Amino acid sequence: MNLDSELNRLRNAYVARHPKSAEQYRRATEVMPGGNTRSVLYYDPFPLAMVRGEGARLWDADGHEYLDFLGEFTAGLYGHSHPVIREAIFAAVGEGINLTGHNLLEAQLARLVVERFPSLRQVRFTNSGTEANLMAIAAAKHFTGRRKVLVFEGGYHGGVLTFGGGSSPVNVPHEFLIGTYNDLSSVQALVDEHGPEIAAIVAEPMQGAGGCIVGDPGFLRGLRRLATEAGAMLVFDEVMTSRLSPGGRQAELGITPDLTTLGKYIGGGMSFGAFGGRADIMAQFDPRKPGHLGHAGTFNNNVVTMSAGIAGLTKIYTADAARALNARGDALRTRLNAFCREAGTELQFTGLGSLMNLHATRAEIRSSQDIPASERLIKNLFFFDMLEQGFYVAPRGFIVLSLPLNDDDVDRFAQAVEDFTRRYGEALRA
């Protein structure tokens, strides 16, 4: 079987099934560069135009229904239009969307966040995970009086802090040092050379956008040690991984970073981010203190997000719900990897809990350098095959479980993956 021919067949069938999405995309290109305002959502030959979502289901402009196994790239933990979240939003809107002042909800949500993540003694809100990471780095630089920031190849900390191929032309102009993920010796070498200049070591406990590359516990504990020895701040970007346990990945590992960043599900899936940590670092933002750091944002404390976040953390994503969802994800990933092995394919699903990613190699993946460049073809094949079977995943093979998915939904998806491994098994073997 020729995989290029199969991919062409699937793409041609996709075009035939989605004339309204194609027309919507054509119109969008007239007023937006490439018809796009969010890069990750674009794929050839044109992206689907989604018109409705409910629970764990999506419908496109041509009326096709999909089980959503992408969950807004982790932000959609609660699914689409969860009734509890919706009620909280409507209640907030009824009293005014933005009240031009402090309100009764922001401190409630802050207390819930601080109680859930013990390393956060105090917290501030932003409008995105990107902003949260920008502010955490700014806080670390000001607190230490240093300029350099140690990050990792394959890391993603927002649209202007992305290191998938080194650095990006749109990155903010910090003085970055780039280490190799899961390679403590590479970090040690950078600390040995630049230690007194390093303000922060910024790391995801699992690289999410980089392909669900799990941080080795020894590596992450080593970062804590090296940061302490260098007098630098350890920043854990838990925008994605905070959902992996009631207290985030850091709680599972027993590691206390100096600063932590969080993302949209904490705000009920609305536009939201947060950064927090040690009280002495966060005190830099106390407006009662002379010379405090400014931190603006019209919607930082907007009542819609505050209300949705409180409802989500108190009524839906409880500690028990977090454990159950991630246990379901671990079981699914184990099941999918069993299919890959039984079919003899060079495929595997990496990740933790409710987050996972397909890769076209059986070799251990410890950093972005271990991901074969040739796997793009396989991931595209998987993406279009899953769409044809009624499942929405990311073109890069990223798969996310959300709370509305039930056992039957997961079983159906597992069957679809097993069918994929059987259908293309011979061509996917080494």
Q: Name, in order, each residue with C-beta under 8 angstroms of 427's C-beta and a sequence gap of 6 or more.
A: 1, 2, 3, 6
For the question of residue 62 being annotated catalytic, the response is no
The answer to whether the CB of 37 falls within 8 A of the CB of 360 is no
Point out the catalytic residue in the list 14, 78, 141, 264.
264
Burial (CB count <10 Å: 0-12, 13-18, 19+), residue 147:
exposed
Looking at residue 337, its amino acid is: N
Bridge pairing between strands 348-352 and 355-359: antiparallel
Task: List residues bridging with 399 in a β-sheet.
Answer: 356
* Set 14, 25, 156, 265: catalytic member: 156
Nearest to 221 by CA among 257, 181, 180: 257
Phi and psi at residue 122, to the nearest 5° = -145, 160
Beta-bridge partner residues of 126: 273
Structure letter (DSSP) for residue 82: -
Pure H helices in 30-121: 83-93, 106-116
CA gap 358, 382 in Å, rounded: 9
Active site (annotated) includes residue 264: yes
Confirm whether 315 is a catalytic residue. no
Q: Which of 60, 68, 237, 409 is an active site residue?
A: 237
User: What are the catalytic residues?
Assistant: 156, 237, 264
